[in-house]
Amino acid sequence: MEMDTQVTVHDAMTSNVITVDPKTSVAEAATIMSQKGIGCLIIKSNSEPEGLITESDIITKVVSRDIQASQITVAEVMTSDLIEIDPGSEVYEAARTMAKNKIRRLPVVNNGSLVGILTSTDVMTVSPELTELLVENARMSHTIDYSDMETSVPGTCEVCETYVDYLEEVDGKYVCEECKEELEGE
């Protein structure tokens, strides 16, 4: 007899969310992200999240416009129309929400209070079968030309089907390092 167990957002989320005040400078936010090894911060001045700032926001909204990061606050560049999810929701629902909205992070909110954050990496870690949905989202959301840069995402290699932390795109497929070398060596 097969048991049908659903993984919830609460099971997969990170509950220790790093947050900053809206008046925090972008330079301070970048320093915190760098020190903590994270790609985003939640902005809040009370228990409910007001926005989110990512490394990409800093690059596209500050650095590329030659704005001095110490002279601008996170509130001025954050994404404020947050899409949130309830901790009791299923991870599959979260993955569909991420794919549909072309996002990789969901603040987890319970009764108006921030209780965690769920990233696409969290989803793929607890439910590798959802990797295809999120990898397709990653393919569709490339709006910047990364032709000179190496891009990688965690997931299941489309050639050998091994789960790895770093997949790279080669000829339209996301593959592991070993399969990349084989494909490029042909």
CA angle 37, 33, 14 (to 5 degrees): 65
With 80 as the cut, is the pLDDT of residue 117 above it? yes
Higher pLDDT, 164 or 5: 164
Give the residue numbers of the binding site for Fe cation.
157, 160, 176, 179
DSSP class of 14: B
Q: How confident is the model at residue 5 (pLDDT cuts 50, 70, 90)?
A: low
> N- to C-terminal Cα distance for the chain?
46
With 70 as the cut, is the pLDDT of residue 39 above it? yes
Give the residue numbers of the binding site.
157, 160, 176, 179
Dihedral sign from CA coordinates of 110, 73, 60, 55: negative
* pLDDT tens per residue, range 40-84: 999 998 878 999 999 999 999 999 999 999 999 999 999 999 999
pTM, two decimal places? 0.66
Q: 168 Cβ partners below 8 Å, 6+ apart?
A: 150, 151, 152, 174, 175, 177, 180
What letter represents residue 7's amino acid? V
Name the residue ranges covered by the structural domains of the chain. 9-126, 151-186
Higher pLDDT, 150 or 25: 25
Question: What are the structure tokens assigned to 12, written together?
Answer: 């997969």
Which architecture does CATH list for 9-126? Roll (3.10)
Question: What's the pLDDT at 126?
Answer: 83
- Beta strand residue intervals within 23-146, DSSP E: 40-43, 51-54, 105-110, 113-119
* pLDDT tens per residue, range 148-159: 334 456 677 778
